[in-house]
Amino acid sequence: MGSNESLPVRKSVENLTLPQLKPSVTDFNTSRRKPIICSGWVANECCSQWSPQNVSYSNEVFIPAPERHQVRVKLYAAGINPVDAQRTTFKSAAPDAQKPSRHPLPTFAFPYVCGIEGSGIIESVGWESDDSTMNCDLQVGDRVTFLADVTKNLGGTFCQFANVDASVVCKLPEVEEVGSPLIDMVEAAALPAAAGTAYIALFDKLRIEKGKSIFISGATGGVGSVAVQLAHFFGLQVFASCSSSNLNYARELGADVVIDYARGDVVKRILKETKDYGVDYLLECASSTLAESHSQALRYGGSICVITGLLQPSCDLVFRRQLSIHYVFTGLMYNIPDARAQLRPLCTALVQMYLQQAFRVDVEEVPLSRVGEALSIIALGHCKGKLVVTGFHEKEAAEEYARRMLVKHYNTALQYH
């Protein structure tokens, strides 16, 4: 107490420098509303199973001028998801093979540009500036994030440019005052598909409630890692299963009980922890083939949501235990008008929750030139957090890296003020 040494004084928030979030050059007059030849990853034909040979890098991807209802985005980041590898095996049923239905099966175009989610800068809009019939707040130079239509041949995000329907594009906020957290385009690219799936599963399908319990299988992947954080943030007791190498990571995300699926009976451990009552919810992120066995960890009348395919029961357990089953696949939301209309509000909500620090995105960056290798990793399920493609524009690489580091430093500094 008698020391003459002064205590350390925290810097004022006002002393922080607000980073520039946009590229230094956003003048697109030479390319605006004209066809573009650019580079990206393409799948030429449907294959029976995933292989790195299913996709190829091309320097001759043709991107037409955007149609009246579209914007063309210059990509700076794109999230990688398991469905990106699976999409190369999606075969459209022959018209005569489809049974009569009010809900016909979707058709999947080949060849197509790969990638389902991304972020970047609007380079062109398809409408005239004086078109009063286009009730749209988007304009050239806006930072945006979006979910691509998985059924189409154009619009994929593993490409330098993509045309996308303006109605589903989410504008990223531009912070003008020091003191508010920022969202970089790399983090934003991880939101529409992975974080979007977690959000729909928890709040729309399972309808989680504070004070209840949830088991998240595959808790450290792109979807699972966000789901663990959101469930923890909203006051649930979280049980998580993952590999032994990711146990500490799952705890850092907020899981209360973490189980190594390779070294013990996951269901038995959960029932022991809950005194044989079981958990209220199950989110199956690892594999649909595990859904039935994992459902034994649910209480009577509990709810399960599967994001990796159909639960195919081998017995009457689901019926006997009166379990509610739900599914989420954001990739096909484009096909249903009511669901499609929710894509922009969904992304907007995710951006706001991210800025409120309800969850973080742990990103591992992958250069555009190595997407094929990254797809193989994610197809095997050997991934922690989120893989995001960067390095779309070689001449801007140094500037992009510097800007990203400034945003990281700024957000980190905010936590200590």
pLDDT at 40: 97
Q: Report the C-alpha gap between 324 and 295 in whole angstroms.
A: 10
DSSP H or E run through 164: strand 161-165
Mean pLDDT throughout 247-276?
Answer: 95
Whether the pLDDT of residue 15 is over 90: the answer is: no
For 211-241, what is each residue's pLDDT tens digit? 999 999 999 999 999 999 999 999 999 999 9
pLDDT at 3: 43
User: Which amino acid type is present at position 33?
Assistant: R
Say if CB 41 and CB 157 are below 8 A apart.
no
Tokens of 113: 């540009």
| Architecture, CATH, for domain 36-93+100-191+332-416 | Alpha-Beta Complex (3.90)
For 98-122, what is each residue's pLDDT tens digit? 566 777 788 999 999 999 999 999 9
Whether the pLDDT of residue 131 is over 80: the answer is: no
* Window from 29-43, 87-101, 274-288 with minimum mean pLDDT: 87-101
379: left (phi over 0), alpha (psi -120 to 50) or beta: alpha
Q: Which of 394, 408, 409 is nearest to 76 (CA)?
A: 394
Whether the pLDDT of residue 5 is over 50: the answer is: no
Q: Report the C-alpha gap between 35 and 39 in whole angstroms.
A: 13
DSSP H or E run through 217: strand 213-217
Q: Which of 388, 399, 344 is nearest to 366 (CA)?
A: 388
Say if CB 203 and CB 37 are below 8 A apart.
no
Mean pLDDT throughout 409-413?
Answer: 84
Tokens of 401: 């890296």
Q: Which of 274, 160, 283 is nearest to 218 (CA)?
A: 283
> How does residue 79 score in pLDDT terms, banded at 50, 70 and 90?
very high
Dump the DSSP string for 254-273. Answer: T-SEEEETTSS-HHHHHHHH
Q: Which of 195, 192, 183 is nearest to 162 (CA)?
A: 192
In the chain, domain spans: 36-93+100-191+332-416, 206-327
In the three-class reduction of DSSP (H, G, I as helix; E, B as strand; rest coil), residue 291 is classed as helix
Say if CB 117 and CB 147 are below 8 A apart.
yes
CB-count exposure of residue 382 (10 Å: 0-12, 13-18, 19+): exposed
Look up tokens 């943030």; give the residue: 233
Tokens of 247: 């146990």
pLDDT at 8: 39
Look up tokens 């195919």; give the residue: 312
> How does residue 6 score in pLDDT terms, banded at 50, 70 and 90?
very low
**Superfamily assignment of 206-327 in CATH?**
NAD(P)-binding Rossmann-like Domain (3.40.50.720)
User: Which amino acid type is present at position 263?
Assistant: R
For 165-186, what is each residue's pLDDT tens digit? 999 999 999 876 677 788 999 9
For 294-353, what is each residue's pLDDT tens digit? 999 999 999 999 998 899 888 899 999 999 999 999 988 988 889 999 999 999 999 999
H helix intervals, 213-360:
222-233, 247-253, 266-273, 291-294, 317-320, 337-340, 343-355
Query: Other C-beta atoms within 10 Å of 218: how many?
Result: 24
Q: What is the pTM of this model?
A: 0.90
Say if CB 88 and CB 39 are below 8 A apart.
no
Whether the pLDDT of residue 141 is over 80: the answer is: yes
pLDDT at 13: 55
Percent of residues, the chain, with pLDDT higher than 70: 93
How does DSSP classify residue 249?
A: H
Rg (CA), the chain: 23
